[in-house]
């Protein structure tokens, strides 16, 4: 019997270590015999990667909140159609660095776009599809921005949006977790990398791997 695919998303503010932890989790799942695809948003498909550059590079004020949300959902649709849904249909586990919760946090909580507008865009582009598990990596804003500043590179548009914006982001992600406890797990990203890795794997084992084992039996 083909193993059912699972969709795990990693969320959180800047500098939370999502990319690093996705790599660790992918390795752990592959050691368990699972096929794993790692991806990211915005991006994860050719068209979506082109849109990514419009969002993460350039001047802070180049888009208003609605324009940003429209671009994110356009990239998301391409990502789902070209990458995520085909992989899940093939029984693979997909790990994504960000998904729709980031749009709600950044454009909603951060920039003040109405939740109803974001939900309407979600309904049109995503439908009733949702992650099986969302891991929210949480740490103080000051620490996250300090870590992010050490990365360098041109993709720093959101990092330059100011401390108050990033405080709203953090509270937004925590509020999302409170409203969706069946889907979301908050993981402290403040400790050692190894401790974060252990906490993530424990959450995946508890919420998904045990069920996957039952599905195979």
Q: pLDDT tens-digit profile of 20-72?
A: 999 999 999 999 999 999 999 999 999 999 999 999 999 999 999 999 999 99
Q: Note whether residue 1 is domain-resident.
A: no
Here the CATH number for the domain that contains residue 116 is 3.40.50.300
Q: Note whether residue 55 is domain-resident.
A: yes
pTM of the model: 0.93
Nearest to 106 by CA among 156, 167, 191, 50: 167
Express each pLDDT in 157-171 by its tens digit. 988 998 999 999 999
Q: Note whether residue 191 is domain-resident.
A: yes
Provide the edge-to-edge strand list for the sheet that holds 6-12: 36-40, 93-97, 6-12, 133-138, 184-188
Q: Note whether residue 155 is domain-resident.
A: yes
* Structural domain span for residue 185: 6-216
Q: Note whether residue 25 is domain-resident.
A: yes
**Number of separate domains in the chain:** 1
């Amino acid at each position: 019997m083909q193993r059912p695919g699972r969709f795990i998303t990693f969320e959180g503010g800047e500098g939370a270590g999502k990319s690093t932890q996705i790599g660790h989790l992918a390795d752990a799942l592959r050691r368990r015999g699972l096929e794993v695809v790692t991806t990211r948003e915005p991006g994860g498909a050719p068209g979506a990667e082109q849109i990514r550059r419009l969002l993460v590079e350039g001047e802070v004020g180049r888009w208003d909140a609605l324009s940003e949300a429209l671009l994110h959902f356009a990239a998301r649709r391409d990502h789902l159609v070209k990458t995520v849904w085909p992989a899940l249909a093939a029984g693979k586990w997909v790990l994504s660095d960000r998904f729709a919760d980031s749009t709600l946090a950044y454009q909603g909580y951060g920039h003040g776009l109405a939740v109803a507008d974001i939900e309407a865009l979600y309904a049109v582009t995503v439908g009733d599809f949702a992650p099986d598990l969302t891991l929210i990596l949480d740490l103080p804003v000051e620490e996250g921005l300090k870590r992010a500043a050490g990365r360098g590179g041109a993709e720093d548009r959101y990092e330059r949006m100011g401390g108050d914006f990033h405080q709203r982001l953090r509270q937004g992600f925590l509020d999302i977790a409170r409203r969706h406890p069946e889907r979301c797990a908050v993981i402290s990203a403040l400790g050692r990398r190894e401790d974060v890795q252990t906490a993530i794997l424990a959450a995946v084992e508890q919420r998904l791997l045990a069920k996957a084992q039952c599905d195979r039996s």
